[in-house]
Structure 1
Amino acid sequence: MKYWFRKLAIYTVLLYHLLIGNSYAQANQVANIDVQGLNALPIVENLASANNFGENRKEDWWRFHEIVKGTEKLEGLFTLYRNENSGQVYLEIKPEQLNKDYLATVTLESGIGESNIYSGLALDDFLFYFRRVNNNLHFVVRNVKFRTEASEPEQRSLARSFSDSVLYSLEIDSIDPRSKNILINLEDLLMQDLPGLTPLLKYSLQADYRLEASKSYFGDVNSFPENIEIDSIYGFSSPEGANLVTLPDSRALSLKVHYSFSKLRENNGYIPRLADDRVGYFITAFKDFSKNNSQEPFVRYINRWHLEPSDPNLPISPPKKPIVFWIENAVPFEYRSAIREGILMWNKAFEKAGFQNAIEVRQMPDDADWQPADVRYNTIRWFNSLDAGFARGPTRVNPLTGEILDADIIVDANMVRSIQQVYGTYVESKVNKKGLRNRNITQASECIYEDLPQTVASGKLNTGSDSELCYGMESLDQASMGALTLSVLQNATPNSEAMQNYVHQYLRSLIAHEVGHTLGLRHNFHGSTMLAPEELNNTEITHTKGLVGSVMDYLPVNIAPQGVQQGDYFPQVIGPYDEWAIEYGYKRSPQVLLEAMIPETEKSFLEQIALASPQPELSYATDEDIWDINPLANVWDMSSDVLLYSQWQMDNARVMWQRLDKGYLSKGESYSNLRALFNRVLQYYFRNATLLSKYIGGQSFRRLHASDDTSWAFVPVSLAKQRQTLTKLQEYVFAEEAFRFSPQLLNQLAPSRWQHWGSPVPNNRLDYPIHERILNFQTAVLRSLLDSQRLNRLQDIELKTSPGEALSIPELFDTLQKDIWTEILTQSEPKPISSIRRSLQREHLNILLEMVLRTTDAPEDGRTLAWYELRQLQKAIESRLKQFPENLDIYTLAHLELSGDRITKALNAQLLSK
């Protein structure tokens, strides 16, 4: 009893002196108490800390209870206190929660519907921990890029060598005297621009927006046993605003960001699985300093879900915990069945990996008490936009192990809506304000945007979000083309059963592709080449084996050639590669008991699965593999013979032009619809034609290992196939007969004249620029064929093949020149050269002159051959002008005289420069 009286006396004296302004040391001295003895008492220790918070916070030792008094207490992983009157939210952190890793996922819950600011976008995910430093609490992002064994001496140096990132230093509001729990105001953390919205808005909207504290507040706040879920609504303002049409006043906008802070799953039996470059998984990689291996210092784990069989003794059993996808209650009713089927398509693959019904689909109820961004739920989300047109399937992953923890697929309503509006002008009006989207010419020609200059990119396919967005728009273009085919060639109306079935096939395939990403799979751009062209519309094959080797490719709509019964437009089942990849990622190793298992133990087991990679239907090529080299690792191609398949599609396009020319529009329909249809068919024609150029100087490439049953990683395209390609390019791209349209059709291609927000009227040419469209396409193909990288590859391939088996640069140059200058280089009766051919010839001449005058990159042999071709062309022009000037029209005469003069001056300039 005396002890408790003594404690009460000590506390009373301390409190008195603290209240009158003395420091803790002075109060301690007056009370004549041993400091170290006091520090052993929890309440005194916290009094000491409380006194250091600041001059006006000397009473903070009891302030904890005053702050939380009258608030709503939400207990869970962290305890939250919400004051409904002030709107403030406080976070309570226990001592044992300090310096412990947690997963943060950040989602843009509401957007503005344009310019890359869309609802449902995943903004960030990372590991973080709280660290107390004096009277502040640091919010620290964990560095997970470098590791070593905990028992290794080098562990001591890693923290000094590679810094974590302290994003915020938060002021401690109070500390509970008994529990030592720390209380902070969440405004100090989540009313800041933690997700980096300010630079995102500046980049996307090209305007400076400031975060306004007075317009920002907390929305829903919840705490659960393993996670907390918090909405922050941020108000932004800009004095000038931005060029936006979705906002009533672009000087102000609001964005909702959803935060999930969740417990990191540890010691749950999950075993990281080692990656293999022959199988396409997203990976979690780190540099391991515990292994003195200079050849391969990185450890790579595949990203995958934690699936455990309910009965490990059976060859196939349900998982203990299946992967559950929820269809958001915002998804229209008519699309839910297609989405469900697209998700469940993957259960076939999991059966071969030993799991029955590994994936389940559930419908989010209309009165659900959770949000789609909640880290506990995997959702298929639906959003609307003015200009997006994409779907995306990101995952949230434990960066220490590669375990997938959460996945949310977002689908823009435009992906489906625009297909059913067959006559809509979607493709023409959706233009990035920064200019046209750049596309690789070997992937597809630039989209035909109405009355805007055409550009063609020479860069490679982007990765990450840019490629996803490009995929969405291109996928939409492909799907719209298929719907147009149904309409033009089969007279299907938007509401017909055939059209509804088509939309169902498309959406199911789209969702299957995105679900594949959420299972850990990367793109496989070799997946579309499994079947021969004549097998593509045989449903006995496509419903069993599959239409493609992998749904993870960027797949075009499969349109049957003329005279062939139409089969599946899009895959109805996943492909052999998809099943094999899931087997690699999820099949349970029988070699070692789970309790004793470490990743390296599975190496031999995984190697046996990966050894199947040389099988043609298991071919794999992903984003970094589809540069110009491999003609079968491509996007928007189909079948093992792209030359034949593309020819079929270009023939289909020509038939469609004929139908459009014969009065396709209904009575009273605007001619602007005809212009939109013509553009879409022209774009489809261009895209298929440009697939051919990859055969020139092409080489197949496989991610093979030395033990695989094959000898070469690279196999050049045969000389016969390359010569066949040049013949097809001449016929479908360069020939005078390639583009013939009636005056009636061209004079009906009127633009839309609706002028209002979201529907701008073009301010340049009103009539249709047919010469410009054709020349831009021909130029793109021609410059791609004579690109310096391709010429260098052709020269290298001559050393990789036997003599006479490679397409030489001289043969390429000579073939193109003869195809393009046929009117001059043949001995036939001279005739006027058409305007389209003159434009093509001028562009060819420009390319050769640039090589000779060294204004562009080219190998030296290429420059020499360009000089040689110019000399031959000069002689032919001079001969024609001397022999038959009276038979040529003024257009042709002027064209040839100027061309000859340019060659002469260029060759003379080259001689003078030397």
Structure 2
Amino acid sequence: MRHWITKLAICALFLYSLLLTPKYVEADQLSNPYVQQLDVLPVVETLASAGNNYGEIRKEDFWRFREIAKVANKLEGLFTLYSDDDLGTIYLALKPEQLNKNYLATVTMESGIGESGIYSGLPLADFLFYFQRVNNNLHFVARNVKFRTESSEPEQRSLARSFSDSVLYSLAIDSIDPRSQNILINLDDLLMQDFAGLTPLLKYSLQADYHLETSKSYFGDRQSFPKNVEIDAIYGFSSPEGADLITLPDSRALTLKVHYSFSQLPENNDYIPRLADDRVGYFITAFQDFSDNNVQEPFVRYINRWHLEPLDPNAPLSPPKKPIVFWIENAVPLLYRDAIREGVLMWNKAFAKAGFQNAIEVRQMPDDADWQPADVRYNTIRWFNSLDAGFARGPTRVNPFTGEILDADIIVDASMVRSIQQEYQALMSANSSLSKNPCQQQNARVVSSAELCYGVESSNQAAMGALALSLLRNTTPNSAAMKEYVHQYLRSLIAHEVGHTLGLRHNFHGSTMLAPQELNQTEITHTKGLAGSVMDYLPVNIAPQGVEQGDYFPSVVGPYDEWAIEYGYKISPSQALKPIIPEAEKSFLQQIALASPQPELSYATDEDIWDINPLANVWDMSSDVLLYSQWQMDNARVMWQRLDKHYLSPGESYSNLRVLFNKVLNYYFRNATLLSKYIGGQSFQRLHASDDIAWAFVPVSLFKQRQALAKLQEYVFAEDAFSFSPQLLNQLAPSRWQHWGSPISNNRLDYPIHDRILKFQSKVLRSLLDSDRLNHLQDIELKTLPGEALPIPELFDTLQKGIWTEVLTPEEPQPISSIRRSLQREHLNILLEIVLGTTDAPEDGHTLAWYELRQLQKAIDIKLKQFGEQLDIYTLAHLEFTGDRITKALNAQLVSH
């Protein structure tokens, strides 16, 4: 009895104290053990009322949190989730100690529409965030990690004032647990407000206004684990007009699933950030350090890499404490799983050089797996289908403070392999409604970046190799040889993408390691590699005529790959010292990087290939591209001959022949285009002052440049460069299927052979006389000894003599063919543009173009006087019109000056 009297007395005193207080109850009062023991919460809830200051608890909070916790399904983990299945609502509970703490948000498009850049598996965003309580709201804030300083430095006080974080959402606090003070928010307020940014993405990619329909949107699967929370959201979008889409039954409405991962950053895991070196190609995490007074280099750059530690630090070769594990998604066809597995494990050879045994493992995702591929706990190789993607991608999620890779998922479009097996699949033309390939869109938000993808050309290269097997070696699509070819291609493709997930950037210098004669010697390619790096964009290696075929694609990683992995993952001796800072590894890393001048370790990445270096190219092969490209163009000519000899099977549509002809023509054009980079070219290496090689730039030799010009004349500009039989040209029929996914083009019905050839010739010719190239040639004359540079006059004169041979040679008159007339008119157009000042060519370019036009005009006048009556009307009209244009242009120039 005395016990109950005591309880009632305490309760009365407590209630009396509440009556004397203002309209609210402080949270620390409710944590009183005596109050909790008395179970007076219902009375407190009745008397307490709302307040507006931080730390106050509104009276409705008491009931609200407890009622939700009673009826909702509770999932405990990093954040506790309460799911109200009747209302379709998810609540997230946040502990007080989780406020202002950094977490990683990862957003993945789990389902797409299969065209126009909206594909399943694509990463949408990943960034650092924290929750901040402001009055009765919870702010969702993206952390600014670009600027840092030591926490003990005075500059720390100014950074927060100088550089803002980004408050993305302000969320109303739904309720607060009066005992634990946990904060409850409704995830509708966060994730059902187009958190993923899909509305602007759809507008950009589909060129239509789609709006999020909340009535059609809902949450899917959700899971909470100790270190991460995984949530699916399904979004319904609508557009009154819809977009020009093929894959949807009705483009006015579409549904997308997005997977969200909110995860905890690793803490106190002994990971040591590793300093970057521009001679070794890694993706980097960079920030500006205001605590460093070195104004010459304000940035700190860490490479992105996995946290890999040896199980036995004293052993020269040790298994890792925790291997890098890749899971093959259960959606991958059984036929391709072995090739994918081999492509991943190719990298263990490189890790062995760095001291790790079996650093990478491959596992198969079970058919009944209870986890999703986008779960941040799993690195997954995913398979998706599309109408127009044709790419693979290997993105990573990284700790933005340290560069530690936390998660990686590789996505592969099934059409990359399908295009090989479907031998007659048409290439996408430039004006096709399906040619919205994301890898070709320079500003595409989702899929364009330095790490991006092989893109359409990889599929084209693979399909070209399969066609070569058929045309040159009589291989059938279902033969063992073709299956082995597909296996090699997919293995190489996966190895490339896995390299990205290990932190490596592209190396477009890797293809130049072997001499052309070594490319098909398997005793070399199976040990040293087909290329210096699988991180290059490598073409299919088709052996020249009379040479036994070797590997079509790499079967092992190259020397550069091994060296780069050594730089990124080899354990430095200083790691035995604790604590260790990144700067302590500097001398160790510099010793590794000193090997960079070795030819097989040459490195050039995305920002290096669009300028002057003929050795830094995509889709080239060997140390002598001039010879290799000639081989491939010769192969193309043989394939055209085979197509001309009744290649199609009985009953097969002639439209298939048109597709094959286009494939070979494009392959021929691409290899010929590689030659032009030698003119005015300079090799470039990322050298440091301590490296053995003295020059960063080395101009291409005069011999090589003259050789390239001669090959271009022979394979691009010569009279007999393109010679096709009437029979072949008259069999190039277009497809006449008219339905979704197979539109009939509005272009010409017959094959536009003149147009195709002229466009190619024009591209090469305009490239050779481009103002940038002329400026390079002029500068190189100052960078070389006399007689070692290709003079601009020689370039102009060589092209003019090769293109106007019928006019400039004193032989008997001969008709100028239609293809040659088109080429000559284009050459004339270019010279006139230079003379009339419509380009940025150097002044010497203007005067030399004027000189060449004068020489041409004189030669035309002589030819017309000598043989005018003997010329056919095509040739006569062509020459008279050309002479008239030159006269008028030169007179106009004289008047303007």
TM-score scaled by structure 2? 0.95
Pick one of 816, 826, 832 that aligns with 1:833: 816
The aligned residue for residue 91 of structure 1 is 92
Pick one of 638, 641, 645 that aligns with 2:624: 641
The CA deviation at 1:418 is 1.2
The aligned residue for residue 122 of structure 2 is 121
1:8 aligns with 2:11: yes
SS at match of 1:633: coil
The aligned residue for residue 636 of structure 2 is 653
Residues 828-854 of structure 1, C-alpha deviations (whole Å, 9 max, x = no match):
112110000000000000011011111
The answer (yes or no) to whether the contact 1:230–1:259 under 8 Å persists in 2 is: yes
Residues 204/53 of structure 1: CA separation in 2 closer, same or farther (3 Å cut) = farther
Residues 466/683 of structure 1: CA separation in 2 closer, same or farther (3 Å cut) = farther
The CA deviation at 1:870 is 0.6
For 1:108-257, list aligned pairs within 5 A: 108-257=109-258
The answer (yes or no) to whether the contact 1:389–1:472 under 8 Å persists in 2 is: yes
The answer (yes or no) to whether the contact 2:388–2:437 under 8 Å persists in 1 is: no
SS at match of 1:471: coil
SS at match of 2:847: helix
The answer (yes or no) to whether the contact 1:170–1:184 under 8 Å persists in 2 is: yes
The answer (yes or no) to whether the contact 1:49–1:135 under 8 Å persists in 2 is: no
Name the CA distance, whole Å, in 2 between partners of 1:605 and 1:438: 38
The answer (yes or no) to whether the contact 2:109–2:121 under 8 Å persists in 1 is: yes
Name the CA distance, whole Å, in 1 between partners of 2:797 and 2:379: 58
The aligned residue for residue 364 of structure 2 is 363
The answer (yes or no) to whether the contact 1:272–1:301 under 8 Å persists in 2 is: yes
SS at match of 1:216: strand
The residue type equivalent to 1:25 in the other structure is P
Residues 192-233 of structure 1, C-alpha deviations (whole Å, 9 max, x = no match):
111110000000000000001111100001000100000011
Pick one of 534, 537, 561 that aligns with 1:578: 561
When structure 1 is superposed on structure 2, of 350-359 and 52-61 the one drifting more is 52-61
The aligned residue for residue 670 of structure 1 is 653
Name the CA distance, whole Å, in 1 between partners of 2:236 and 2:189: 16
The aligned residue for residue 32 of structure 1 is none
For 1:25-64, list aligned pairs within 5 A: 25=22, 50-52=50-52, 58-64=59-65
The CA deviation at 1:77 is 0.6
The CA deviation at 1:513 is 0.1
1:598 aligns with 2:584: no
Name the CA distance, whole Å, in 2 between partners of 1:737 and 1:373: 55
For 1:615-764, list aligned pairs within 5 A: 615-764=598-747
Residues 544-577 of structure 1, C-alpha deviations (whole Å, 9 max, x = no match):
1111000000000000000000000000000000
1:495 aligns with 2:478: yes
SS at match of 1:677: helix
Residues 49-75 of structure 1, C-alpha deviations (whole Å, 9 max, x = no match):
854499997422221111222211000
The answer (yes or no) to whether the contact 1:269–1:594 under 8 Å persists in 2 is: no
When structure 1 is superposed on structure 2, of 489-498 and 503-512 the one drifting more is 489-498
1:906 aligns with 2:889: yes
The residue type equivalent to 1:485 in the other structure is A
The aligned residue for residue 310 of structure 1 is 311
1:329 aligns with 2:330: yes
Name the CA distance, whole Å, in 2 between partners of 1:334 and 1:433: 28
Pick one of 607, 613, 628 that aligns with 2:596: 613
Residues 414/36 of structure 1: CA separation in 2 closer, same or farther (3 Å cut) = closer
The residue type equivalent to 2:627 in the other structure is L
The answer (yes or no) to whether the contact 2:506–2:604 under 8 Å persists in 1 is: yes
Residues 827/438 of structure 1: CA separation in 2 closer, same or farther (3 Å cut) = farther
Residues 493/245 of structure 1: CA separation in 2 closer, same or farther (3 Å cut) = same
The answer (yes or no) to whether the contact 2:30–2:178 under 8 Å persists in 1 is: no
Question: What value does the CA root-mean-square deviation take over the aligned residues?
Answer: 2.4
The answer (yes or no) to whether the contact 1:463–1:623 under 8 Å persists in 2 is: no
Name the CA distance, whole Å, in 2 between partners of 1:758 and 1:468: 30
Name the CA distance, whole Å, in 1 between partners of 2:748 and 2:28: 88
Name the CA distance, whole Å, in 2 between partners of 1:436 and 1:261: 31
Name the CA distance, whole Å, in 2 between partners of 1:74 and 1:589: 43
The residue type equivalent to 1:297 in the other structure is P
Name the CA distance, whole Å, in 2 between partners of 1:435 and 1:873: 44
Name the CA distance, whole Å, in 1 between partners of 2:241 and 2:286: 44
The aligned residue for residue 754 of structure 2 is 771
Residues 169-203 of structure 1, C-alpha deviations (whole Å, 9 max, x = no match):
00001100100000000110011111110000000
1:814 aligns with 2:797: yes
The residue type equivalent to 1:326 in the other structure is W
The CA deviation at 1:593 is 1.6
The aligned residue for residue 443 of structure 1 is none
SS at match of 1:118: coil
1:518 aligns with 2:501: yes
The answer (yes or no) to whether the contact 2:676–2:768 under 8 Å persists in 1 is: yes
* Runs (5+) with no aligned partner, structure 1: 18-23, 29-34, 440-456
The aligned residue for residue 444 of structure 1 is none
Residues 736-776 of structure 1, C-alpha deviations (whole Å, 9 max, x = no match):
10000000000000000000000001122000000000000
The residue type equivalent to 2:108 in the other structure is T
Residues 112-153 of structure 1, C-alpha deviations (whole Å, 9 max, x = no match):
000000000000100000000000000000000000011100
Residues 108/695 of structure 1: CA separation in 2 closer, same or farther (3 Å cut) = same
Name the CA distance, whole Å, in 1 between partners of 2:333 and 2:62: 55
For 1:329-348, list aligned pairs within 5 A: 329-348=330-349
The answer (yes or no) to whether the contact 2:117–2:446 under 8 Å persists in 1 is: no
The residue type equivalent to 1:634 in the other structure is N
Name the CA distance, whole Å, in 2 between partners of 1:153 and 1:548: 51
Pick one of 865, 879, 884 that aligns with 2:848: 865
The answer (yes or no) to whether the contact 1:493–1:499 under 8 Å persists in 2 is: yes
When structure 1 is superposed on structure 2, of 149-158 and 41-50 the one drifting more is 41-50
Name the CA distance, whole Å, in 1 between partners of 2:27 and 2:632: 86
Percent of pairs with identical residues: 80
Residues 131/485 of structure 1: CA separation in 2 closer, same or farther (3 Å cut) = same
Name the CA distance, whole Å, in 2 between partners of 1:63 and 1:833: 90
The answer (yes or no) to whether the contact 2:439–2:454 under 8 Å persists in 1 is: no
Name the CA distance, whole Å, in 1 between partners of 2:290 and 2:324: 35
- Pairs aligned (count): 884
The residue type equivalent to 1:275 in the other structure is A
The CA deviation at 1:636 is 0.2
The aligned residue for residue 511 of structure 2 is 528
Name the CA distance, whole Å, in 1 between partners of 2:203 and 2:866: 64
Residues 898/421 of structure 1: CA separation in 2 closer, same or farther (3 Å cut) = same
Name the CA distance, whole Å, in 2 between partners of 1:49 and 1:640: 80
Name the CA distance, whole Å, in 2 between partners of 1:171 and 1:598: 42
Residues 402-458 of structure 1, C-alpha deviations (whole Å, 9 max, x = no match):
00000000000001011001122244599456879997xxxxxxxxxxxxxxxxx9x
The residue type equivalent to 1:866 in the other structure is A
Residues 863/562 of structure 1: CA separation in 2 closer, same or farther (3 Å cut) = same
Residues 189/461 of structure 1: CA separation in 2 closer, same or farther (3 Å cut) = closer
Pick one of 464, 477, 486 that aligns with 1:481: 464
The aligned residue for residue 782 of structure 1 is 765
The answer (yes or no) to whether the contact 1:115–1:432 under 8 Å persists in 2 is: no
The CA deviation at 1:490 is 1.1
Name the CA distance, whole Å, in 2 between partners of 1:587 and 1:705: 22
TM-score scaled by structure 1? 0.94
